[in-house]
Structure 1
Amino acid sequence: MTGLTMNGQEACALLKAGKLKVVDIRDPQSYDSGRIATAERLDNSNLQDFINNNPKDQAVLVCCYHGMGSKGAAEFLKEQGFTDVYSLDGGYEFWKVCHPEHCE
């Protein structure tokens, strides 16, 4: 892990071990058409509930399309007190090619 980013290999290992909460910030249609297994869709309508109802020390991986928007979202979650939060390098587009076994 580098700064606020995590590569797919690291994310896959943590996901398999059950040590990673994945949030997907893409639009509803993209999320519905394919996502990382166990990913929870996060947007403005459920953001406050997520902040209020999840442990701040839980490892959180933020996923977007290509890994750009998720950096800002990860930084925002850090500002809200989450201590172990990352952006997925390459986003879902990269993930689905490299780790299709972990997609729904």
Structure 2
Amino acid sequence: MDFLLSQNNLYILIIALVSGGMLLWPNLRKSHGSSGVSVPEAVQLANQKQAVFIDVRSAEQFKTGSIPQARNLPAADIQEKLASLPKNKPIIVVCDQGRDSARVAATLRKQGMADVFSLDGGVRNWASGGLPLSKKA
């Protein structure tokens, strides 16, 4: 027991515990209801389950570059257009950095939609992953 309580070893123990916590944090966050998906997970959902991308940015931002096949539905209009969203396919909500999409995804889940996800990092993360963006005229 003296080994653990000596000054130098105590620092090592604290560093090990903090490092372990930091490694476990992403998994703990996902298990507590967070529905964010990474870019590779989003691509996999789109390819395997025909997930639909809903871009909740403004029309002006959408035109500057969006995920191919994404549908623009500004966050302000989401309640009005709720009935037009597909019920039988997963939905991946996208915004610029991931904050607005997480909020909209939570709103959609509260409205009873089951397979709703938010793209972690948004369109910026998509582009930094080397995936294409389409520009609308």
User: Quick check: TM above 0.5?
Assistant: yes
Q: Does 1:48 align with 2:48?
A: no
* Identity in percent: 26
Cα separation, 1, equivalents of 2:105 and 2:54: 10
Q: Deviations over 1:41-97 (max 9, x none)?
A: 112346423x21334342000101111111110001111111000110011011112
Q: Does 1:61 align with 2:92?
A: yes
SS in 2 for 1:26: coil
The Cα of 1:99 is off from its aligned counterpart by 3.7
Query: 1:18–1:57: structure 2 CA closer, same or farther, 3 Å change rule?
Result: closer
Q: Which has the larger radius of gyration?
A: 2
Aligned position for 1:93: 124
TM-score normalised by L of structure 2: 0.66
Aligned position for 1:76: 107
SS in 2 for 1:100: coil
Q: Structure 1 stretch 87-96 or stretch 13-22: which is displaced more? A: 13-22
Query: 1:90–1:46: structure 2 CA closer, same or farther, 3 Å change rule?
Result: closer
Give yes or no for contact 2:45–2:90 (8 Å, CA) kept in 1: no
Query: 1:74–1:60: structure 2 CA closer, same or farther, 3 Å change rule?
Result: same
Cα separation, 1, equivalents of 2:57 and 2:84: 21
Aligned position for 2:51: 20
Gaps of 5+ in 2: 1-26
TM-score normalised by L of structure 1: 0.85
Which structure dedicates a bigger proportion of its chain to helix? 2
The Cα of 1:12 is off from its aligned counterpart by 1.2
Which amino acid in structure 2 is aligned with residue 56 of structure 1? K
Q: Does 1:32 align with 2:60?
A: no
Give yes or no for contact 1:57–1:82 (8 Å, CA) kept in 2: no
Query: 1:25–1:54: structure 2 CA closer, same or farther, 3 Å change rule?
Result: closer
